[in-house]
A = this chain, B = another copy of it.
Amino acid sequence: MTTSDADVPAERVRAAVSERFGTQLAFPAETHGLEKLVEIVEHRSHRSYTNAPIAPELLRLLFACALSAPSKSDLQQADIVHVADRDKVEAITKLIPDMPWISKAPVLLIFCGNNRRIRQIGEWRGKPFANDHLDHFMNSAVDAGIVMTTFIRAAEAVGLGACPISAIRNCPHEVSRLLELPDWVFPVAALTVGFPDHSGHITLRLPLDVTVHENRYDESRAKENIERYDRRRHETQPYRKQRHVKRYGQSEFYGWSEDKARQYSVPERADFGAFIQAKGFRLD
């Protein structure tokens, strides 16, 4: 192997980190496993796919990979619903008018939190369930997120692309009825999967100084770091469309913080808690 060959993964990692975080990282070029880190730092979501189908055996293998992920206390509170019925795919797509591309994906999955099994097990084994509180809702939601993340990783390893869709929670009752989700089972996110038809792009991220802390939470420079990030977004990945223009007008400078501040100045999923409570959870 020549020196320049050996340098390739290090260069790619450096370039991706620099593009994403606006930071130059120093690390030894001979770091073991660097070629695997390339895939992680170059991660991109894909919402546009070729027509190539995904073989059922491959999909099942990816489910096994996903469910090999760590699970809180070995509780295994994440379930996957594969929406194979095209009528159901269309019905779900219609529930999310902003995302008509959902129905074009070869595969649509719904990752669910499942706090039902642990309750059933208690019944079957003649034990009370003494944990009707927030932590159990959170455990199952986080487990579903961990399994979905691992599914995406496995899918990317075989050349597929994916896009997580939390907007499925805009209409939880309807999704729940369509998929016949019983009490204590709830959708966390949908995922579209297929062979990508273009290369996608790296989403810029907040500087590491904002999100990584040593020994104590430190936000002393958060505002200036976020302003710097706003400028970087505006210069390199400008937003194509501004939100809520009727209310706030067109901003000449429109960075990440302006976009997010506008987005959450309007209620979104204010009724999700009521849905979760209707599924039987206690949230105190």
Contact = CB atoms under 8 A, between A and B. Distances in A.
Contacts of A116: 219
Contacts of A148: 146
A88 B40 contact: no
Nearest to A282: B273
A189 B153 CA distance: 21
Given A74-B256, A166-B73, A214 B82 contact: yes
Contacts of A17: 61, 64
A133 interface: yes
Interface residues of A, number: 133
Contacts of A8: none
Interface of A: 13, 16-17, 20-21, 23, 25-28, 31-34, 36-37, 40-43, 45, 55, 57-58, 60-61, 63-65, 67-76, 78-85, 88, 112, 114, 116-118, 120-122, 124-131, 133-135, 137-139, 141-146, 148-150, 152-154, 157-159, 164, 166, 169, 179-182, 185, 188-189, 203, 205-206, 208, 210-217, 219, 222-223, 226, 248, 256-258, 260-270, 272-274, 276-277, 283-284
18 contacts: A27-B55, A33-B157, A37-B157, A41-B65, A60-B212, A67-B205, A70-B152, A74-B256, A74-B260, A80-B212, A127-B261, A130-B265, A135-B169, A138-B141, A142-B188, A146-B146, A179-B213, A180-B217
